[in-house]
Structure 1
């Protein structure tokens, strides 16, 4: 799959100098410039057999106008609800008044309700995208040039691989002129539609065993995704940070920054659909977690639940982990027997993989007592400990609990 074209590059050339009345800024010229992106969206819709509907606020119909320029798109474009005013959002999409007042129309909550509302009212649509934003003038400074995008999807009639799914995105626009911001917002909606379809395609192919791994890489806020086929053994990052990223938090970012400043290498992340301690990820969860990496380092999608499997996919990689992960790698309960335990460690060693181990606060679970643990505090098989390197607490320590963050998130 090819990378998407960045409209912002085209717009920024004359962002401040070009008067709005020039022909280069006419909506029909914008639609022409957007043709390659629209064609890719149309091709993906046909490939998946999906139908899309939009709920547009700040883009005022530009998204559907652009996509509607593709011949034959009527089979896949259901339409668009242009709900510019709050009352129209209530009347057409069923958005209640309360979230429109607080947190307000330009918010994650409202854009998700917009997407769900237009999907619910469009029986033949499989996926809906919504957009709302402050394009100026006279926007509050903290919201000026900010747009929210919402995604909602439902079971596919011809494919039961994905259950209902939702996701949101937040974008800070590059342009400063209102018309250019409107066009950039439309570009982001279409690009997000492509992102959703690309991620679904690769999630499904990995789940079915057709692919072993796919690499998703973001440049600024434009997603550029490159599939990695099963027989491509050359694409291995130097430092790989596996995790569930539920949610991704500041501790993850600080660890990546530490690796960059200490070793001069970028960290790439890995999200596995399978986990030894948790249920397999459905598409909705996968989409939500991958969208957290917009504007960040690349992330790999795999189905490798164990480090034995990861070492086969990423030979020579250094896995960036916490002490809690090393406890699980060494715990016999995750293996069939002692022989399979030794074989797993031997496989990791033979692949040339290593572990960079950060200290973690452990709650205690029978094999350990509660407290802060570093590599030196762990009881590990010698052959495993020999391929580990400790990050001293004096050099780095971040006591952030994903469990606590999830609890706070669920309270909202």
Structure 2
């Protein structure tokens, strides 16, 4: 590195907990090299991408920008990078999105200015800068070096780490910058509007394994948060040394304790630790027919059946904050999300095991919820499977009857006279036996999808407690 301050700045960035995604086009290329050439880069850099071509930029932003090299485009790149960082980072750690777009010196003289725009986005701060350079004063390599300096300085400021240096700007160069900080209400409104994909409230305390990557996702309603939810987390943590039958997962025996309203609980775990996250979706949709490719919909059935194809309004900012307070009191980290569909959850949490009720499992594999199209159902669920996701199916009280999958316990009860032989057989072939015997009752699961569905035995966890009953008693 040419300047000593660059190494000092990079070391300080890597020592911070901030993780970042960088999208750069048209300059500042040396900054990426500085960041990844120093040990500890994997602690900071989640992804770096150069969307240099026109089509690459359009696909990154999901639209054609009004101007490819502008402060607005840099701001939009930073927002996309921030959302990407949220999905790639470990929940609870601060994340940073960096966007840069430049029009520097080229092989042919340019009629317009030599300029660049850069932006950084964190949870509560947006910063944008525009620098116009003196034409003919520097070579292309020198302009790239200067833009890399300023980009590194912006990352230092966003990470809130010490760093003192003066970029090689002259009096003829023009630099402008603006900054905006967001309140909690503004962040949540951005979430409701779909600008950001989720927001993390890190209320948990104690030592956790931050490198845990696998998750169990439990659909459930946290209105209100009750003993059943908390007991579930306690059981999940205490059983961290067992096995669920899914290769590489640790035991998290869970139960679907309340109605599915698009809100999901995440228990994240690895090894002997089980890191727990609660994820609350602010909006959801019950649909009897779904036309969007690779999406899962549900039909909400009432006595008059009037809710077909009706959208539930998202939670308001005040409602979200009220829900969050429950988790703060319980000391549980909560992630607020706006993703209503399983395929979207699968994209954000690949490799997860979604815990669902037997009634929801029946809907998932029934073609009538996919316009009566069996192939569409197969395509959508195969897409979920491709992300490494599975479904753990818990028993549910349906019309007063507790329905649960066909488990090994049932097999033993049905063939008790062969119990000694069965136990010996299972001891020798436990890995294979689990998958063979965990067959679901009354569900016609396609052969290609059977290994996605695993029953949760009633004997492992059952707590008949309903959020709706609690609300009724409390007059909510």
TM over 0.5: no
Q: TM-score, normalised by structure 1?
A: 0.43
User: What TM-score results when the alignment is normalised by the length of structure 2?
Assistant: 0.38
Radius of gyration: which is bigger?
2
